[in-house]
Structure 1
Amino acid sequence: MFARKHRIDVNIDSMLRSRVPAQTSPERHSKMPSQSTESVMNRFVEFINTGNEDLAREVISPDAVFHAPSHPEPLRGPDGYMEVIGMMRSAFPDVQWTLEETVAEGDTVAARFTMRGTHDGEFFGVPASGNKISVQAMNFYYLADGRIVGERGQPDLLGVMQQIGALPAP
């Protein structure tokens, strides 16, 4: 038995317009981060590299929603993000993130990070290996009023698991 072929007409432009708010000012079309966007992202990187809770509350909105692959439900606000940072720091106490590249349009920032650290604690059930890791992450951040109100992140967890010895390298 063969499956029937169906033709589906998709109008990508109308789909995008229905999901993306109208852009009303020229600066919303900029591909370079604005000074305030850059400042927010720099403060955010300082927070994730230090775990400074006061800085977290300054840069992350109390209503922020974070979608992390390590958690089935979204995390909320600075405390939710501190949970993720705590998990990472318990496994990689010396973890540091480097913001390699950003592209901003309006209040949305696409960011590419490099995460480096030493696997000195349990990570997803894998005991400490002492291995050094260096992996990439690609994240989208949503900003409002000079604060982060949302994030969708995709770290290279496969790369982490390979580098800590939990999975074979390709």
Structure 2
Amino acid sequence: MSQPSVSPASILAATVAMTGLASPAVAQAMTPVQARQTIAPFYEMLNQPASKDIQALAEQILSPEWKSYASETEYKGRDAFVGQVVGFGKLIPDLKWDVKEVMVDGNRIIVRSEASGTPTGPLFGVPVSGKSFRIMTIDIHIIENGKAVTAHHVEDWAGAIRQLTAK
């Protein structure tokens, strides 16, 4: 007779229930639906940003100490990020960030999305051609007390440049 399979998550849940102790990860765990709702204002900022109040959306979702990491050591704060998003909104009026998948791991929200748009000015040194781009992006947001405190992200901007310069 085979033994029933027991997952590490069920062991952790049973331990927490028996001891009355909750770890921070368990206390802050979200469902995928809650994660999608929590992070929605972030992606709202990125969709046609020239048409909205980016600062207000940033204050809704990002803690004042929020850091956006493009590498292990390089980051920008909330105000610099707001300025960048406003700049992208002017340069790419139809910018769209389409969320494809949301995953949750404790207080981390992992988002796979697709960014697309048609630049109306030079983008990363590429002159205006009327062409559009469509690239994959991955973000890992860390949430504390209902607000994002960090984001680690990767966007395929090299792919955008290839698409904009293709003959």
TM-score range, shorter chain: 0.7 to 0.9
User: Using the alignment, how far apart are the partners of 2:48 and 2:148 within structure 1?
Assistant: 17
Deviation (angstroms), 1:34: 5.0
Query: Whole-Å Cα distance in 2 between the matches of residues 85 and 136 of structure 1?
Result: 17
Could you report, residue by residue, the CA deviation over 1:133-168 in whole angstroms, capped at 9, with x for unpaired residues?
111101111111111111111001121011110xx6
1:109 is paired with a residue of what secondary structure?
Answer: strand
SS of corresponding position for 2:139: strand
Q: Is residue 61 from structure 1 mapped to residue 63 from structure 2 by the alignment?
A: yes
Identity across aligned pairs (percent)? 23
TM-score normalised per structure 1: 0.72
Structure 1 gaps, min length 5: 1-21
Counterpart selection for 1:49 from 47, 64, 74: 47
Would you say how many aligned residue pairs link Structure 1 and Structure 2?
Answer: 140
The aligned counterpart of 1:89 is 89
From the superposition, tell whether residues 103 and 163 of structure 1 become closer, same or farther in structure 2 (CA, over 3 Å). same
Superposition CA RMSD, Å: 2.4
> Separation in 2 of the partners of 1:89 and 1:50?
6
- Segments of 5+ residues of structure 2 without an aligned counterpart are 1-22
Q: Structure 1 stretches (4+) deviating beyond 3 angstroms?
A: none
Counterpart residue type for residue 33 of structure 1: P
- Higher helix share goes to which structure? 2
Counterpart position of 2:32:
33
User: CA 1:89–1:27 in structure 2 vs 1: closer, same or farther (change >3 Å)?
Assistant: closer
Alignment of 1:63-142 (within 5 A): 63-68=65-70, 73-77=74-78, 79-142=79-142
Secondary structure (helix, strand or coil) at the match of 1:127 reads coil
| TM-score of the aligned structures, taking structure 2 as reference length | 0.73
